[in-house]
Amino acid sequence: MAILQDLIMQVSDPELRDRILQEANKLSKQKKFGLVFEEHLPECTPLYDIPVKRGSSVALRTGKVSDIYIVQKVTDGVATCIKKDNQEKKEFPVDELVCVAEFGEPIYPYLKPIDSVCNAPDSDLWHTLIEADNYHALQLLEYLYAGKVDCIYIDPPYNTGARDWKYNNDYVDSSDQYRHSKWLSFMEKRLKIAKKLLNPKDSVLIVTIDEKEYLHLGMLLEEMFPEDSIQMISTLTARSGAARFNSFSRTNEFIYFVMIGNYRIAPIENAEYQQEGDEIHWRSFRRGNPANIRISRPSQFYPLYVNIETNRIEKVGEPITPEIDRFTVEQIQGCETVFPVRDDGTEMLWSVTPGPCKKLVDKGYIKATRYTPEKPQQFSISYLSSGTISDIESGKVKVYGYDINGGIKASNTESRKAMPKTLWTFDTHDARDYGTKVLKTVIGESRFDFPKSIYAVEDALKLFCLNKQDALIIDFFAGSGTTLHAVNLLNAEDGGHRRCIIVTNNEVSDAEAKSLTKQGYKPGDEEWEKLGIARYVTWPRTVCSIEGHDINGNPLKGNYIGSDIPMSDGFKANAAYFKLGFLDKTAVALGRQFKELLSVLWMKSGCAGQCPSLDTDELPDVLVLPENKFAVLLNESYYSVFVKELDKHPEIQTIYIITDSESAYRNMIANFEDKDTYQLYRDYLDNFRINTGR
């Protein structure tokens, strides 16, 4: 309906236009079932670093990116253009135009190095920040890591109506009647590629959201991941509440977990759960299942004789058969006879037979406690589970004495772990104290609203990555960079080697855009770009948190909560910052842009060592990079030399061979069965030609 309405508005006859609109509105009100949303005009992306030339698809820098023109010619800095939808001819100064990538057309991306930070020169762990529209970045990541990603964590725009996100480069606000379907269309395109990235054998997609779209998102995820396990939890994000006019003060958000394949949720330690020093847990010795009645297993119906003065179990009796009335059983002077009987008189069972029960009593693993106020039977009987007994005998639980009733006194010597609940109320997840304030400490006034708590993100990642110390984690709505910060903290706490790739655009806020426009600046100008989120927030936070200082070079103060790690220590990690660009297909096929593709090859090889570069236009015949664990044969005539070089470096795991001959490629890789091999540039070009029109 959205596309239809756009087309109807182009009808010049007002009477006809109004009649068609009326009929279209009737259609839009018909009852629908399931998740139905508009397909909308395809998204477009402005490419500010691509030169405008004949044949380029362009838009006005200050106009709508979806209003596309085709450049017919460029003369003396003026472009003659034809509007794509109505063939209207116009002329514009070239510096007022920007090239546009349309959704679904073949794109050939590369990564332009912008900056790097190295705080662990001896480590081959390199994280990456990619400045880009995340859809095109996802296309590149699919080429690099399809089926290899362990965890995707995203915090997408919540579509609150507050002009906090864009569709086709235009802010979507509460007045847009199609804002929900635009959001769903926007999300679906990205989640389709995200699904291809995730390891089908064992991985997780984590998506945060609030009440504006959680229902729509849940239905979309159910539709896109029908074979996987999906669960939503509620999490505290603002203990004091986020006040809103004439509305409930919001204290929580939601997190969807899409759990794929043979996933495992790791039990966690948290203040809500039993911790070091807590007393051990006693369980009822009387079985509670309605099926566990006396006649179902007579061997577990017997008397326990409890001393009335000391509450100690003095004797374990023998089982009595079902036909014997329990009130006729022999009594012991000074003792209460206790059976596994409910208050209503229903005769149940004890948890074990008399033999094991006697052993448990002797060790203090069963105890009697007097009911207060009194019940039909004066005592309840409790015992320790086999897991707790195992912890006692292994030393995890320390016994420090015995109660008068014979039961042991013990406490945990280690923090006790438990499965996470569906309601998270952890103080450390407060977004103001551990999101906004942490970000402000690092980079000052960030002009970034509502960053996530670093500990909230870390806890979510721990559930699925705690036992994956080499996990590959991606966040393609990176925002202020909390996910990368959390991954570094998790690695520091347990010595992990998890690698993180984050993607963010370089948008400025709506208010900043208006201010910059008044000053005469346009998107793509340096004055505009330097205030964008990637350059002003995400990358500075990454550098400062790794090196342990604020934006002014002052050491960060305090420790990370839950550990004794000083923030001023930084992290033993490295990160590279790239901007996504686009290459000319013909130039790639002819091998003219190998230098530009080198960073892509580095990422595809696993980001080991610092990203390599070539300082000369003259390309080598053989490029062997042991520190980066990959090698490239650029001239197949040097194959024998290439093989000899590889024999010297068994650490190299990835091999690229540049050849136009499929048969030659197959023959050359026969010697590298234990390596990952790729044919250039065919592998690269085919990927982006095939993966179009999504």
| d(C-alpha 612, C-alpha 623), whole Å | 11
Maximum Cα–Cα distance for the chain, whole Å? 115
- In-domain check, residue 508: yes
The residue assigned the tokens 């069965």 is: 673
- In-domain check, residue 105: no
| d(C-alpha 81, C-alpha 131), whole Å | 29
Do both 559 and 657 map to the same domain?
A: no
- Structure token digits, residue 156: 């997408």
The rounded average pLDDT for each run of 10 residues, N- to C-terminus, in the chain (694 residues) is: 75 87 75 61 75 91 88 95 92 93 77 96 94 90 95 91 70 77 90 96 96 93 95 93 81 96 81 50 90 93 95 96 94 95 94 95 94 87 90 84 88 68 92 92 79 95 94 96 97 95 90 87 86 94 96 94 90 96 76 88 95 89 95 94 94 93 93 91 76 46
CA distances from 134 to 441, 540, 580 (A): 28, 20, 10
Number of domains composing the chain = 4
DSSP annotation string for 150-190: SEEEE------SEEEEEETTEEEETT-TTHHHHHHHHHHHH
C-alpha atoms less than 13 angstroms from C-alpha of 587 in its C-beta half-sphere: 12
Helices 134-145, 594-604: axis angle to 10 degrees equals 70
228 Rama sector, left if φ>0, alpha if ψ -120 to 50, beta otherwise: beta
Indicate the residue among 394, 412, 430 that finishes a domain. Answer: 412
- In-domain check, residue 63: no
pLDDT, position 613: 92
- In-domain check, residue 67: no
DSSP annotation string for 596-634: HHHHHHHHHTT--SSPP---SSSPPSEEEEGGGTEEEES
681: part of which helix (H) or strand (E)? none
Name 567's Cβ contacts closer than 8 Å, sequence gap at least 6: 441, 545, 548, 556, 557, 558, 559, 560
Domain limits for position 312: 283-412
- Structure token digits, residue 685: 């070009």
As a residue count, the chain comes to: 694
- In-domain check, residue 74: no
Asked if the peptide bond before residue 171 counts as cis, ω within 30 degrees of 0, the response is: no
Do both 594 and 556 map to the same domain?
A: no
CA angle 67, 517, 536 (to 5 degrees): 100
Do both 474 and 527 map to the same domain?
A: yes
Sheet holding 283-284, edge to edge: 283-284, 379-383, 366-370
- In-domain check, residue 51: no
Do both 305 and 406 map to the same domain?
A: yes
- Structure token digits, residue 187: 């999300």
Sheet holding 676-680, edge to edge: 622-625, 630-633, 654-658, 676-680
Do both 128 and 266 map to the same domain?
A: yes
| d(C-alpha 430, C-alpha 69), whole Å | 47
Do both 498 and 382 map to the same domain?
A: no
| d(C-alpha 561, C-alpha 434), whole Å | 10
Do both 25 and 137 map to the same domain?
A: no
Q: What is the pTM of this model?
A: 0.74
Do both 237 and 180 map to the same domain?
A: yes
pLDDT, position 633: 95
Coil, helix or strand at residue 265: coil
Burial of 331 (0-12, 13-18, 19+ CB in 10 A): exposed
485: part of which helix (H) or strand (E)? helix 482-494
SS (H, E, C) 188-199: HHHHHHHHHHEC
Tens digits of per-residue pLDDT, 603-624?
999 999 999 999 888 899 999 9
Do both 130 and 183 map to the same domain?
A: yes
Indicate the residue among 578, 603, 627 that finishes a domain. Answer: 578
Do both 243 and 125 map to the same domain?
A: yes
- In-domain check, residue 526: yes
Indicate the residue among 350, 379, 412 that finishes a domain. Answer: 412
Do both 438 and 538 map to the same domain?
A: yes
Residue 298 and residue 321 in contact, taking contact as beta carbons nearer than 8 Å: yes
Coil, helix or strand at residue 689: helix
- In-domain check, residue 334: yes
Do both 146 and 264 map to the same domain?
A: yes
Coil, helix or strand at residue 98: strand
pLDDT, position 6: 75
Tens digits of per-residue pLDDT, 574-591?
999 999 988 877 777 667
